[in-house]
A and B are shown apart, each in its own frame.
Chain A
């Protein structure tokens, strides 16, 4: 098969770029730990009341600046509906669904992951600015999907 000289240059440039992009993504993920949210933990979505973790959703302090927020997504809201942490806190979110597929999304941050029933998904975020952060569901979950939201209150120090 004949390849024109210009085509060889074009393909070397194109494939080279793709390899470079993949290297950047791979190094960032596997060397620096910037992985996409892929938690493997499981729950029984129909019996969350008996679950050791999700029977008691809310915030617990882990150390001086780190909090764990345990949250249940369900049509059409989150439990709890407000989480309060002080400015500068790092929050580890662990979320599962009581019914259908939802998301847990804080606009303009990297916290944006799917919440599928039966699985727990997680993300971590440090809130350096005080304020009232919006959390919304960006996966269609039924007629009132667009009402599904909660807040993260980050209080000034």
Chain B
């Protein structure tokens, strides 16, 4: 890696845009709701860890599965979605100029719809009318208001997504022939992915579940609803990962004092995510009847293809690190590592997320490995897996991001005190997760089920050993959960501090200077019609025949089962 970064100064004469003050409240309210959801969700996780390990008993007015539903919805849907849109609104303003008044107002409309949907769903969960977990598999049935809430949630994200897309394409039109800023390119890929994917969940909620919950239809096609959910459910994880990758590609290089290694490779990675992260949902349904082996295997192949953009990302990010470390005088094979800003939480938290993504990704390959999935399907292994991916890689990246994003939005300074909290929080999270996720993975290999309250199965020896291992034990999971809660409280304190208490001042919205290859970026990468077209063709290939068979060859449907959840 001998591309020089020292040319950086010549490039940097262009005018630095800040975040438009008018968009800051919209961005900040997203971040605030995300953090409230985060801390509530973290405490939900603590209660589950302790209850499952038999270390505490739940009071009679709340059930394990109600808390589990709340934990999943608050962290996987509310925290992620709100903080992602908060980040994208601020970043699009920073890189593409101020939003027009019309678009900004439409953004507030989207926010209102999104928040209303969230509140309706939350109210149903809190009143124990919707303890169906965040996957809400039919024919367990929640209150119809829960489904209305979900539908509004999705529509709200579509409105907000449309605002971001409109802002990007306006810039593109005003700057013909120019390579688009990477932030806008990546935002566009992420939002397009989200819109195409969420059509699946919108269809199952509006066409199947809502009429069924309202009593307009008597029966539901269960396998079809699960398939539509997972058509959405896997790209959902890329909707979390892609904004985290945006932090890695665009923010981290600036924080470490360098520039991104390659712009075209970054664009290529995001295009590949858009193409290959949707037609893969069957890898969540490998153990299920009613879908043939052939189509499961086809989607397994496509699942493996979506590993490639992550390989590209790993190379680009570490190349950026090495290039920057060397430009700053790091010599020899490894000495450049010392040049990285290890004491800076804005770097260290996402970096820890990157390291954790290595075992997380390897575990993901195991999960997707077709017949091998039988060993771990629906065991605690899977829970351990996604607490590494979304629960560590994505969370740590977003927390590291929030440490500069919040003061940018509130006009305060990211102080040494906040930085120190951030470093401690990152270590606590990583160590707590080592215990919790590590024990979960091993318990899963011993067959311990996921999504299950404290149970010894009439003291069956196989179930008892899940409590008796030195490390491989529900007790270890509980200990990890306590440490993670401490880290979560610290992160929430940092939010309060940076939002309301830190000294007033200027904080930088870090953004990598354009990569050296920006002007050579191939034109076809910007051809969105082409990418959407290919994505649709792949979806049609992977899903048409199996979904057609599910509909025309459907068994008699299922009635409602809402008595089982109360």
Contacts and interface: CB of A to CB of B under 8 A. Distances in A.
B520 A2 contact: yes
A36 to B, nearest CB: 5
B452 A138 contact: yes
Interface string A135-154: 01111111101110100000
A36 B370 contact: yes
9 contacts: A11-B312, A15-B311, A25-B370, A35-B371, A99-B139, A118-B558, A119-B288, A119-B555, A145-B453
Nearest to A14: B311
A92 interface: no
A7 interface: yes
Interface in B10-31: none
A73 interface: no
A43 B290 CA distance: 11
A45 B374 contact: no
A145 to B, nearest CB: 6
B195 interface: no
Given A46-B556, A112-B375, A38 B292 contact: yes
Given A44-B555, A134-B463, A140-B133, A116 B451 contact: no
Contacts of A26: 297
Interface stretch (B142-150, B431-439, B441-449): B441-449
A2 B266 CA distance: 12
Interface stretch (B299-307, B334-342, B412-420): B299-307
Complex A-B, nearest 3 residue pairs according to Cβ-Cβ distance, in ascending order: A107-B447, A142-B564, A118-B555
A156 interface: no
A29 interface: yes
Nearest to B516: A2
A85 to B, nearest CB: 18
B446 A29 contact: no
Interface stretch (B237-245, B401-409, B454-462, B483-491): B454-462
Contact of B451 (A15, A25, A100, A138): A138
B454 A146 contact: yes
Contacts of A141: 140, 564
Which of A111, A119, A121, A138 counts the most B-chain CB atoms under 10 A from its CB? Answer: A138
Interface residues of B, number: 79
A153 to B, nearest CB: 13
B226 interface: yes
A113 B287 contact: yes
A119 B289 contact: yes
Nearest to B290: A119
A29 B294 CA distance: 10
Interface of B: 1, 63-65, 68, 131, 133, 137, 139-140, 222-223, 226, 262, 264-265, 268, 285-293, 296-297, 300-301, 304-305, 307-308, 311-312, 315, 319, 365, 369-375, 377-379, 446-455, 457-458, 460, 462-463, 517, 520-522, 553-559, 561, 564-566
A18 B304 contact: yes
B458 A136 contact: no
Nearest to A44: B556
Given A11-B311, A117-B222, A121-B289, A25 B140 contact: no
A40 interface: yes
A52 interface: no
A138 B373 CA distance: 14
Contacts of A139: 137, 378, 451
A71 interface: no
Contacts of A105: 378, 447, 449
Contacts of B379: 112, 138
Given A21-B369, A105-B449, A117-B139, A38 B454 contact: no
A140 B451 contact: yes
A10 B265 CA distance: 14
A108 to B, nearest CB: 5
A143 B63 contact: yes
B447 A143 contact: no
A15 B308 contact: yes
Contacts of B131: 143
Interface string A28-61: 1110001111111111111100000000000000
A55 to B, nearest CB: 16
B559 A1 contact: no
A112 to B, nearest CB: 5
A101 B455 contact: no
Nearest to A11: B311
Contacts of A15: 308, 311
Contacts of A1: 264-265, 268, 520-522
A62 interface: no
A89 interface: no
B288 A29 contact: no
A75 interface: yes
B297 to A, nearest CB: 7
Contacts of A119: 223, 288-290, 555
Contacts of A157: none
Nearest to B288: A114
B267 to A, nearest CB: 9
Contacts of A28: 371
Contacts of A99: 139, 558, 561, 564
